[in-house]
Structure 1
Amino acid sequence: MTALILYGVALILLLLSYIHDKGKTKKALRRAWKSFENVMPQFLGIIFIIGIMLSVLKPEVISHIIGKESGIFGVVLSAIVGSITMMPTFVAFPTADMLLKNGAGYAQVGALVSTLTLVGIITFSLEAKYIGKKATFYRNFLAFMFSFVVAFVIGKAVGGA
Protein backbone atom coordinates (compact mmCIF):
# COMPACT_ATOMS: atom_id res chain seq x y z
CA MET A 1 0.00 0.00 0.00
CA THR A 2 2.85 2.39 0.84
CA ALA A 3 4.42 1.80 -2.58
CA LEU A 4 1.13 2.62 -4.27
CA ILE A 5 0.88 5.89 -2.34
CA LEU A 6 4.48 6.84 -3.19
CA TYR A 7 3.97 6.06 -6.89
CA GLY A 8 0.76 8.09 -6.84
CA VAL A 9 2.48 11.09 -5.25
CA ALA A 10 5.36 10.82 -7.74
CA LEU A 11 2.92 10.72 -10.66
CA ILE A 12 1.02 13.75 -9.36
CA LEU A 13 4.26 15.70 -8.89
CA LEU A 14 5.40 14.69 -12.38
CA LEU A 15 2.13 15.97 -13.84
CA LEU A 16 2.47 19.24 -11.92
CA SER A 17 6.01 19.62 -13.20
CA TYR A 18 4.84 18.92 -16.76
CA ILE A 19 2.09 21.52 -16.46
CA HIS A 20 4.55 24.07 -15.04
CA ASP A 21 7.37 23.55 -17.57
CA LYS A 22 7.02 20.91 -20.29
CA GLY A 23 10.54 21.38 -21.64
CA LYS A 24 12.33 20.91 -18.33
CA THR A 25 10.16 17.92 -17.42
CA LYS A 26 10.91 16.20 -20.75
CA LYS A 27 14.62 16.94 -20.31
CA ALA A 28 14.55 15.52 -16.75
CA LEU A 29 12.75 12.37 -17.95
CA ARG A 30 15.36 11.87 -20.71
CA ARG A 31 18.17 12.22 -18.14
CA ALA A 32 16.42 9.81 -15.79
CA TRP A 33 16.07 7.27 -18.60
CA LYS A 34 19.78 7.59 -19.49
CA SER A 35 20.70 7.08 -15.85
CA PHE A 36 18.43 4.04 -15.70
CA GLU A 37 20.08 2.61 -18.84
CA ASN A 38 23.54 3.10 -17.31
CA VAL A 39 22.64 1.45 -14.00
CA MET A 40 20.54 -1.47 -15.25
CA PRO A 41 23.36 -3.63 -16.72
CA GLN A 42 25.26 -3.52 -13.40
CA PHE A 43 22.13 -4.25 -11.44
CA LEU A 44 21.05 -7.16 -13.64
CA GLY A 45 24.56 -8.61 -13.74
CA ILE A 46 24.91 -8.68 -9.99
CA ILE A 47 21.37 -10.00 -9.48
CA PHE A 48 22.15 -12.72 -12.05
CA ILE A 49 25.37 -13.73 -10.26
CA ILE A 50 23.63 -13.71 -6.86
CA GLY A 51 20.79 -15.78 -8.33
CA ILE A 52 23.23 -18.38 -9.62
CA MET A 53 25.03 -18.48 -6.28
CA LEU A 54 21.75 -18.90 -4.42
CA SER A 55 20.70 -21.71 -6.73
CA VAL A 56 24.02 -23.53 -6.19
CA LEU A 57 24.26 -22.88 -2.46
CA LYS A 58 21.44 -24.41 -0.47
CA PRO A 59 19.86 -22.24 2.25
CA GLU A 60 21.38 -24.57 4.86
CA VAL A 61 24.89 -23.78 3.58
CA ILE A 62 24.23 -20.04 3.64
CA SER A 63 22.74 -20.40 7.11
CA HIS A 64 25.79 -22.34 8.28
CA ILE A 65 28.31 -19.84 6.86
CA ILE A 66 26.60 -16.51 7.61
CA GLY A 67 23.47 -17.56 9.46
CA LYS A 68 22.40 -16.55 12.94
CA GLU A 69 24.23 -19.56 14.39
CA SER A 70 27.53 -18.59 12.75
CA GLY A 71 27.90 -15.88 15.39
CA ILE A 72 30.95 -13.63 15.38
CA PHE A 73 32.67 -15.78 12.72
CA GLY A 74 29.83 -15.05 10.29
CA VAL A 75 29.90 -11.36 11.14
CA VAL A 76 33.68 -11.14 10.57
CA LEU A 77 33.43 -13.15 7.33
CA SER A 78 30.58 -10.94 6.09
CA ALA A 79 32.53 -7.78 6.97
CA ILE A 80 35.62 -9.02 5.11
CA VAL A 81 33.63 -10.04 2.03
CA GLY A 82 31.80 -6.70 2.05
CA SER A 83 35.08 -4.81 2.35
CA ILE A 84 36.67 -6.39 -0.71
CA THR A 85 33.54 -6.57 -2.86
CA MET A 86 32.68 -3.69 -5.13
CA MET A 87 28.94 -3.39 -5.50
CA PRO A 88 26.73 -0.37 -6.10
CA THR A 89 24.73 0.61 -3.04
CA PHE A 90 21.40 0.20 -4.81
CA VAL A 91 22.26 -3.48 -5.38
CA ALA A 92 23.41 -4.13 -1.80
CA PHE A 93 19.91 -3.97 -0.34
CA PRO A 94 18.22 -6.42 -2.73
CA THR A 95 21.23 -8.71 -2.22
CA ALA A 96 20.76 -8.47 1.54
CA ASP A 97 17.08 -9.31 1.14
CA MET A 98 17.91 -12.41 -0.93
CA LEU A 99 20.48 -13.54 1.63
CA LEU A 100 18.04 -13.06 4.52
CA LYS A 101 15.37 -15.06 2.71
CA ASN A 102 17.90 -17.85 2.23
CA GLY A 103 18.95 -18.22 5.85
CA ALA A 104 21.55 -15.52 6.50
CA GLY A 105 21.50 -13.84 9.90
CA TYR A 106 20.51 -10.22 10.42
CA ALA A 107 23.72 -9.26 12.18
CA GLN A 108 25.81 -10.90 9.47
CA VAL A 109 23.89 -9.18 6.68
CA GLY A 110 24.11 -5.89 8.59
CA ALA A 111 27.90 -6.20 8.64
CA LEU A 112 27.94 -7.13 4.95
CA VAL A 113 25.81 -4.20 3.81
CA SER A 114 27.62 -1.79 6.11
CA THR A 115 31.03 -2.71 4.70
CA LEU A 116 29.72 -2.89 1.12
CA THR A 117 28.59 0.70 1.35
CA LEU A 118 31.29 2.18 3.62
CA VAL A 119 34.57 0.31 3.08
CA GLY A 120 36.47 0.41 -0.20
CA ILE A 121 39.53 -1.82 -0.33
CA ILE A 122 39.36 -1.99 -4.14
CA THR A 123 39.09 1.79 -4.46
CA PHE A 124 41.75 2.50 -1.80
CA SER A 125 44.39 3.81 -4.22
CA LEU A 126 41.95 6.09 -6.02
CA GLU A 127 40.64 7.52 -2.76
CA ALA A 128 44.20 7.94 -1.43
CA LYS A 129 45.02 10.23 -4.38
CA TYR A 130 42.43 12.71 -3.14
CA ILE A 131 42.60 12.55 0.65
CA GLY A 132 45.94 10.81 1.25
CA LYS A 133 46.88 7.29 2.28
CA LYS A 134 46.68 7.93 6.01
CA ALA A 135 43.22 9.51 5.85
CA THR A 136 41.99 6.78 3.50
CA PHE A 137 43.29 4.09 5.83
CA TYR A 138 41.66 5.67 8.88
CA ARG A 139 38.37 6.22 7.08
CA ASN A 140 38.25 2.62 5.89
CA PHE A 141 39.39 1.24 9.26
CA LEU A 142 36.79 3.24 11.18
CA ALA A 143 34.08 2.23 8.70
CA PHE A 144 35.12 -1.42 9.08
CA MET A 145 34.94 -1.16 12.88
CA PHE A 146 31.60 0.62 12.60
CA SER A 147 30.23 -2.37 10.68
CA PHE A 148 30.64 -4.43 13.86
CA VAL A 149 28.67 -1.83 15.81
CA VAL A 150 25.95 -2.05 13.14
CA ALA A 151 25.98 -5.86 13.31
CA PHE A 152 25.76 -5.80 17.11
CA VAL A 153 22.88 -3.32 17.19
CA ILE A 154 20.94 -5.13 14.47
CA GLY A 155 21.64 -8.48 16.10
CA LYS A 156 20.33 -7.26 19.46
CA ALA A 157 17.34 -5.48 17.93
CA VAL A 158 16.25 -8.51 15.88
CA GLY A 159 17.31 -11.11 18.41
CA GLY A 160 20.68 -12.71 18.02
CA ALA A 161 24.09 -12.22 16.50
Structure 2
Amino acid sequence: MTTLILYGSAILLLIISHIKDKGKTRQALKGAWKFLENMMPQFLGIILVVGLMLAVLKPEVISNIIGSKSGIFGVFVSAAVGSITLMPTFVAFQTADMLLKNGAGYAQVAALISTLTLVGLATFPLEAKYIGKRAAFYRNFIAFLFSFIVAFVVEKVMGIL
Protein backbone atom coordinates (compact mmCIF):
# COMPACT_ATOMS: atom_id res chain seq x y z
CA MET A 1 0.00 0.00 0.00
CA THR A 2 2.84 2.38 0.86
CA THR A 3 4.44 1.78 -2.53
CA LEU A 4 1.18 2.62 -4.27
CA ILE A 5 0.88 5.87 -2.30
CA LEU A 6 4.48 6.88 -3.09
CA TYR A 7 4.19 6.12 -6.81
CA GLY A 8 0.81 7.84 -6.97
CA SER A 9 2.19 10.94 -5.25
CA ALA A 10 5.19 11.02 -7.57
CA ILE A 11 3.00 10.77 -10.67
CA LEU A 12 0.59 13.43 -9.36
CA LEU A 13 3.45 15.83 -8.57
CA LEU A 14 5.01 15.17 -11.98
CA ILE A 15 1.71 16.04 -13.68
CA ILE A 16 1.41 19.23 -11.60
CA SER A 17 5.00 20.16 -12.48
CA HIS A 18 4.33 19.48 -16.17
CA ILE A 19 1.24 21.72 -16.11
CA LYS A 20 3.12 24.51 -14.33
CA ASP A 21 6.27 24.50 -16.50
CA LYS A 22 6.74 21.94 -19.29
CA GLY A 23 10.32 23.03 -20.05
CA LYS A 24 11.63 22.70 -16.51
CA THR A 25 9.85 19.37 -16.05
CA ARG A 26 11.38 18.02 -19.26
CA GLN A 27 14.81 19.32 -18.17
CA ALA A 28 14.43 17.69 -14.74
CA LEU A 29 13.44 14.36 -16.31
CA LYS A 30 16.46 14.49 -18.64
CA GLY A 31 18.74 15.20 -15.65
CA ALA A 32 17.20 12.32 -13.71
CA TRP A 33 17.69 10.01 -16.67
CA LYS A 34 21.39 10.99 -16.98
CA PHE A 35 21.84 10.39 -13.25
CA LEU A 36 20.26 6.95 -13.63
CA GLU A 37 22.48 6.14 -16.61
CA ASN A 38 25.61 7.14 -14.66
CA MET A 39 24.59 5.22 -11.56
CA MET A 40 23.31 2.05 -13.24
CA PRO A 41 26.69 0.36 -13.97
CA GLN A 42 27.71 0.83 -10.34
CA PHE A 43 24.33 -0.35 -9.09
CA LEU A 44 24.34 -3.45 -11.30
CA GLY A 45 27.92 -4.25 -10.29
CA ILE A 46 27.02 -4.13 -6.61
CA ILE A 47 23.94 -6.29 -7.13
CA LEU A 48 26.06 -8.77 -9.09
CA VAL A 49 28.75 -8.94 -6.40
CA VAL A 50 26.25 -9.29 -3.56
CA GLY A 51 24.22 -11.86 -5.50
CA LEU A 52 27.33 -13.92 -6.28
CA MET A 53 28.49 -13.64 -2.69
CA LEU A 54 25.14 -14.88 -1.40
CA ALA A 55 25.09 -17.68 -3.99
CA VAL A 56 28.62 -18.85 -3.21
CA LEU A 57 28.60 -18.32 0.54
CA LYS A 58 26.19 -20.47 2.45
CA PRO A 59 24.16 -18.83 5.23
CA GLU A 60 26.29 -20.75 7.75
CA VAL A 61 29.48 -19.12 6.41
CA ILE A 62 27.92 -15.66 6.51
CA SER A 63 26.74 -16.41 10.03
CA ASN A 64 30.26 -17.48 11.07
CA ILE A 65 31.93 -14.40 9.60
CA ILE A 66 29.39 -11.68 10.44
CA GLY A 67 26.74 -13.49 12.44
CA SER A 68 25.61 -12.47 15.90
CA LYS A 69 27.99 -15.05 17.43
CA SER A 70 31.02 -13.60 15.59
CA GLY A 71 31.17 -10.82 18.19
CA ILE A 72 33.61 -7.93 17.89
CA PHE A 73 35.52 -9.73 15.12
CA GLY A 74 32.39 -9.74 12.93
CA VAL A 75 31.69 -6.10 13.75
CA PHE A 76 35.26 -5.18 12.81
CA VAL A 77 35.09 -7.16 9.53
CA SER A 78 31.77 -5.49 8.65
CA ALA A 79 33.14 -2.04 9.52
CA ALA A 80 36.27 -2.63 7.43
CA VAL A 81 34.26 -3.84 4.43
CA GLY A 82 31.88 -0.90 4.75
CA SER A 83 34.79 1.55 4.89
CA ILE A 84 36.31 0.45 1.60
CA THR A 85 33.07 -0.16 -0.30
CA LEU A 86 31.43 2.54 -2.36
CA MET A 87 27.68 1.88 -2.46
CA PRO A 88 24.57 4.06 -2.76
CA THR A 89 22.60 4.17 0.48
CA PHE A 90 19.40 2.71 -0.97
CA VAL A 91 21.38 -0.30 -2.18
CA ALA A 92 23.07 -0.62 1.20
CA PHE A 93 19.75 -1.07 2.97
CA GLN A 94 18.67 -3.79 0.54
CA THR A 95 22.03 -5.48 0.99
CA ALA A 96 21.61 -5.32 4.76
CA ASP A 97 18.21 -6.98 4.46
CA MET A 98 19.67 -9.79 2.36
CA LEU A 99 22.53 -10.28 4.83
CA LEU A 100 20.15 -10.39 7.80
CA LYS A 101 17.98 -12.97 6.05
CA ASN A 102 21.11 -15.07 5.45
CA GLY A 103 22.35 -15.17 9.03
CA ALA A 104 24.21 -11.91 9.62
CA GLY A 105 23.93 -10.31 13.05
CA TYR A 106 22.26 -6.98 13.78
CA ALA A 107 25.38 -5.36 15.26
CA GLN A 108 27.49 -6.49 12.31
CA VAL A 109 25.01 -5.17 9.76
CA ALA A 110 24.69 -1.91 11.71
CA ALA A 111 28.47 -1.46 11.56
CA LEU A 112 28.43 -2.19 7.82
CA ILE A 113 25.67 0.33 7.08
CA SER A 114 27.20 2.92 9.37
CA THR A 115 30.61 2.76 7.71
CA LEU A 116 29.11 2.54 4.22
CA THR A 117 27.37 5.85 4.77
CA LEU A 118 29.90 7.65 6.98
CA VAL A 119 33.40 6.41 6.09
CA GLY A 120 34.83 6.83 2.63
CA LEU A 121 38.29 5.49 1.90
CA ALA A 122 37.45 5.53 -1.82
CA THR A 123 36.43 9.19 -1.63
CA PHE A 124 39.24 10.21 0.75
CA PRO A 125 41.39 11.96 -1.91
CA LEU A 126 38.49 14.15 -3.01
CA GLU A 127 37.54 14.94 0.58
CA ALA A 128 41.15 15.73 1.48
CA LYS A 129 41.34 18.15 -1.44
CA TYR A 130 38.53 20.26 0.01
CA ILE A 131 38.97 20.01 3.78
CA GLY A 132 42.61 18.91 4.04
CA LYS A 133 44.20 15.53 4.69
CA ARG A 134 44.25 15.88 8.44
CA ALA A 135 40.60 16.89 8.74
CA ALA A 136 39.54 14.17 6.28
CA PHE A 137 41.50 11.57 8.24
CA TYR A 138 40.00 12.62 11.57
CA ARG A 139 36.48 12.76 10.16
CA ASN A 140 36.78 9.26 8.71
CA PHE A 141 38.50 7.86 11.82
CA ILE A 142 35.84 9.27 14.16
CA ALA A 143 33.10 7.97 11.87
CA PHE A 144 34.76 4.53 11.89
CA LEU A 145 34.82 4.52 15.71
CA PHE A 146 31.23 5.77 15.76
CA SER A 147 30.19 2.69 13.76
CA PHE A 148 31.17 0.53 16.74
CA ILE A 149 28.96 2.63 19.01
CA VAL A 150 26.11 2.23 16.51
CA ALA A 151 26.69 -1.53 16.41
CA PHE A 152 26.64 -1.75 20.22
CA VAL A 153 23.44 0.31 20.52
CA VAL A 154 21.66 -1.64 17.78
CA GLU A 155 22.69 -4.93 19.40
CA LYS A 156 21.29 -3.79 22.74
CA VAL A 157 18.06 -2.43 21.24
CA MET A 158 17.43 -5.54 19.14
CA GLY A 159 18.20 -7.71 22.16
CA ILE A 160 15.42 -5.96 24.06
CA LEU A 161 12.84 -6.34 21.28
Scaled by the length of structure 1, the TM-score of the pair is 0.92
CA gap 1:21/1:124 in 2 versus in 1, 3 angstroms: closer
**Deviation digits for residues 50-77 of structure 1 (CA, Å, limit 9, x no counterpart):** 1011100001100111011111111111
Cα separation, 1, equivalents of 2:51 and 2:120 = 24
Count of aligned positions: 160
Matched, 1:49 2:42: no
Instruction: Please give the root-mean-square deviation of Cα atoms over the aligned residues, in Å.
Output: 1.4
Q: Which runs of no fewer than 5 residues in structure 2 stay unpaired?
A: none
Matched, 1:24 2:24: yes
Shift of 1:91: 2.4
Letter in 1 for 2:17: S
Matched, 1:7 2:7: yes
Q: Which runs of no fewer than 5 residues in structure 1 stay unpaired?
A: none
1:1-161 matches, within 5 Å, as: 1-159=1-159
Cα separation, 2, equivalents of 1:88 and 1:69 = 28
Residue 62 of structure 2 aligns to a residue whose secondary structure is helix
Cα separation, 1, equivalents of 2:43 and 2:78 = 21
Shift of 1:106: 1.2
Cα separation, 1, equivalents of 2:2 and 2:156 = 27
Shift of 1:123: 2.9
Scaled by the length of structure 2, the TM-score of the pair is 0.92
Shift of 1:84: 2.0
